[in-house]
Structure 1
Amino acid sequence: MATKGKGKDKNDGRKLVAQHKKARHDYLILDTYECGVVLTGTEVKSLRQGRASLVDGFVQIDDREAWLHNVHIPEYAQGTWTNHSARRKRKLLLHRDEIDKLEVKAQESGHTIVPLSLYFKDGRAKVEIALAKGKKEWDKRQTLREKQDRRETERAISAVRRRQRA
């Protein structure tokens, strides 16, 4: 139960199932969207066990519908003949205007739509997808260099502050 005067919970009731960690390294994220996913019962049960992989996943728009491809949700261990196939394509639930915007932007050269994370929010499975542009090798190195520089300056600042306190 939330106490009076406290801010919202940090994760807003989200239970993270899977995350595509290399996506932010491999792509320049231009815009993000949260969308629902059409799943079968055994897929939901498998996700509740925390089993999924977004590594090879991508989103494709066909006939003004968004589809999630190559996301691996393993078969539910206690499932019977009703079990799902692990890499089937899954329909994404987005507003029509969001789909139209994504379709136009994704057709530009070098742009793609990738899943960033898969989670439960208020009991519903959600996917955070991003409109992204692929980074070149030198972009990746430059990003790493900037990250290291930022860490070094933070360390130097904290060392100076520690010396001032002593």
Structure 2
Amino acid sequence: MARPQHKEFDKVKTVAENRRARYDYHIEDTYEAGIMLTGTEVKSLRFGEGSIAESYAEVKGGECWLVNSNVPEFSHGNRFNHEPKRPRKLLLREREIARLHGMVERKGMTLVPLSIYFNGRGRAKVELALARGKNAADKRSTIKERDWKREQGRILREHG
């Protein structure tokens, strides 16, 4: 029996967030993926270090990889410390990987990581978005909409 899908993921501690992604892309769908990490990478992330600002995901050889994410070396790590910008394997179901691969290949979409967090069980997870890029006009309309909502809030506070 299939597990029920959660609308909101169980985020206990958010480590890294890609806030620019919601501005640069139309988010179509989000997925929760596990991430394969070494011991020192987990320790670095638990200290709140890490960045996914310029990272993306790609499907290669039937596997999904997180590319260009930065997890700095652990300060107390020794010679077994990890490489900071290495590609990291994302753990998804085969059906999800096939669907993502099809959407990226046929529809020209992009896989963008939105955040890295630890769930309730203490596992590191990546919130992965299937997204379509925005053009300059879309970005302007997003800014206009955000400013109008802010102004609306001010008006309601003053008169309401």
Scaled by the length of structure 1, the TM-score of the pair is: 0.87
**Distance change in 2, residues 1:74/1:104 (3 Å):** same
Gaps of 5+ in 1: 1-9, 162-166
Amino acid at match of 1:72: N
d(CA) in 1 for partners of 2:106, 2:113: 18
Matched-pair contact (CA < 8 Å) for 2:9–2:32: no
d(CA) in 1 for partners of 2:85, 2:115: 16
SS of structure 1 residue aligned to 2:48? coil
Residue-by-residue CA offset, 1:40-66 (whole Å, 9 max, x unaligned): 000000001100000111101011110
**Distance change in 2, residues 1:31/1:86 (3 Å):** same
Q: Which residue of 1 aligns with 2:134?
A: 135
> Rg bigger for which structure?
1
Q: Which residue of 2 aligns with 1:37?
A: 35
Q: How many residue pairs end up in the alignment?
A: 152
**Distance change in 2, residues 1:82/1:36 (3 Å):** same
**Distance change in 2, residues 1:98/1:11 (3 Å):** closer
Q: Which residue of 2 aligns with 1:119?
A: 117
**Distance change in 2, residues 1:30/1:11 (3 Å):** closer
C-alpha displacement at 1:158, in angstroms?
A: 2.1
Q: 1:53 aligns with which of 51, 54, 72?
A: 51
C-alpha displacement at 1:107, in angstroms?
A: 1.3
d(CA) in 2 for partners of 1:96, 1:39: 20
d(CA) in 1 for partners of 2:134, 2:108: 9
C-alpha displacement at 1:154, in angstroms?
A: 2.0
Amino acid at match of 2:110: T
SS of structure 2 residue aligned to 1:50? coil
Q: 1:106 aligns with which of 97, 104, 107?
A: 104
Q: Which residue of 2 aligns with 1:159?
A: 158
CA RMSD in angstroms comes to 1.5
* Identical columns (%): 47
Q: Which runs of 4+ in 1 moved over 6 A?
A: none
The answer to whether structure 1 residue 87 and structure 2 residue 85 are counterparts is yes
Residue-by-residue CA offset, 1:20-79 (whole Å, 9 max, x unaligned): 010000111010000100000000000011000001111010111100000000000111
Gaps of 5+ in 2: 1-7
Amino acid at match of 2:100: L
d(CA) in 2 for partners of 1:13, 1:136: 31
Matched-pair contact (CA < 8 Å) for 2:118–2:125: yes
d(CA) in 2 for partners of 1:82, 1:126: 23
C-alpha displacement at 1:156, in angstroms?
A: 1.1
Q: Which residue of 2 aligns with 1:147?
A: 146
